[in-house]
Amino acid sequence: MRKIAISLLIFIGSLLSASTDTESPVVGILTQELRPNGLIMRHFPDKTSFIAASYVKYLEGGGARVVPIWIGRNHSYYKNLMYKINGVLLPGGSNWFNQSNGYAEAGEHIMQLAVELNHKGRYMPVWGICLGMEFLIYMMANNKEHRVDCNAKNMILPIEFREDYKSSRLFGTISYDVAVAMTTENVTSHWHRFCYTEQDFRNNPLTQIWRVLSVNHDWHGSEFISTVEHVMYPFYGVQFHPEKPQFEFHKSSIPHTAAAIVSSQFFADFFVSEARKSNQSFANESELAMMLIYNYKPEYTGILKSIYTQQYLFSNVEMGLEVRHAHPFG
């Protein structure tokens, strides 16, 4: 009797999960290499890649569950995963994406698949933050470099909306109060040495691909693009770090005011609502359970003087890569 009741529960549970999978989307976050012989590798010698926990908490705060996307895997791995998850977040970092590295190689598979999925009418939103936005634009420009040098490190800025920002998908539903907070208070955390400019976008013309929703000015007063959305696909990029105000406490420029939290939350809520529009799912609950980030525990790396308060760290074995014996004896 008990057994039947449990099976019945599981059966009802599977019906419920099947009908609600758009309500609780699963979003992939791309991992990236740890700096070789850097601070974290010295403390955790078997770890080779990471995700800053702020990105995970940021999406979780919007109602999503997170799956890490490994670097260094083959196309079948990315294809399998991309046909199951409901969105992708390309995080910031200090990788050089125009040289061969795990982030760029994986990112290429991911973007090719994201375009393929959207092309097939399967909604696949992508959210690029800082380096992630730079990479997204680079990929959609057929790997052509459009970034220029700038200096927007260590800046906290309000958002300078373009006049028609309210007619965009991203800001179409923004409330008056949140828009006022974004434009009148220092709410966004900038830390980047490259910028895209509207002038370059107009000349090339990347304005046929991207809609520029906001700009900002760097330490030299040079204008750069700070928010974009793709004209056709649900791809979005922000040059600032909306995941930091709630979750990062390094002493560099991170606003923690109520206005900054409300602004950041707006972007998380928006992206997760985009992911809800995807109706892809894993084969079953156990397959999903194996992939979720809950299988890993973040480390308190802020105490080790990392710029990230907490980080998820992964070894080659955890990523399903061969053990490379990176630290042989002798």
Ligand X SMILES: *[C@@H]1O[C@H](CO)[C@@H](O)[C@H](O)[C@H]1NC(C)=O
Q: Which residues bind ligand X (CB under 6 A)?
A: 74, 76-77, 121-123, 156, 185-186, 277, 279, 283-284, 286-287, 320
Nearest residue to ligand X, scored by beta-carbon proximity: 283
Among the listed residues 75, 119, 130, 217, the single catalytic one is 130
Beta strands in 209-264 (DSSP E): 210-217, 223-230, 235-238
Task: Supply the minimum distance, in Å, between the C-beta of residue 286 and ligand X.
Answer: 5
Residue 41 or 275: the one with the smaller Cβ distance to ligand X is 275
Beta strands in 31-86 (DSSP E): 32-33, 47-52, 65-69
Give φ, ψ of 5 to 5 degrees: -60, -40
Task: Supply the minimum distance, in Å, between the C-beta of residue 267 and ligand X.
Answer: 19
Task: Supply the minimum distance, in Å, between the C-beta of residue 158 and ligand X.
Answer: 7
Residue 150 a catalytic site member? no
Note the residue count of the chain.
330
Residue 10 or 148: the one with the smaller Cβ distance to ligand X is 10
Q: Do residues 98 and 144 make contact, with C-beta atoms less than 8 angstroms apart?
A: no
Strands 235-238 and 47-52: what pairing? Answer: unpaired
| Burial of 286: CB neighbours in 10 Å, binned 0-12, 13-18, 19+ | exposed
Among the listed residues 109, 192, 230, 241, the single catalytic one is 241
Task: Supply the minimum distance, in Å, between the C-beta of residue 136 and ligand X.
Answer: 21
Contacts of 130 (CB under 8 A, 6+ apart): 91, 92, 93, 191, 192, 238, 239, 240, 241
Q: The tokens 């974004």 sit on which residue?
A: 182
Strands 311-315 and 47-52: what pairing? Answer: antiparallel
Task: Supply the minimum distance, in Å, between the C-beta of residue 155 and ligand X.
Answer: 7
Residue 30 or 53: the one with the smaller Cβ distance to ligand X is 30
With DSSP H G I counted as helix, E B as strand and the rest as coil, what are the percentages for the chain, rounded to 5? Answer: 35, 20, 40
Residue 156 or 195: the one with the smaller Cβ distance to ligand X is 156
Q: Do residues 308 and 301 make contact, with C-beta atoms less than 8 angstroms apart?
A: yes
Task: Supply the minimum distance, in Å, between the C-beta of residue 304 and ligand X.
Answer: 29
Residue 130 a catalytic site member? yes
Q: The tokens 């308190």 sit on which residue?
A: 300
Residue 44 or 123: the one with the smaller Cβ distance to ligand X is 123
Point out the residues that are catalytic.
130, 241
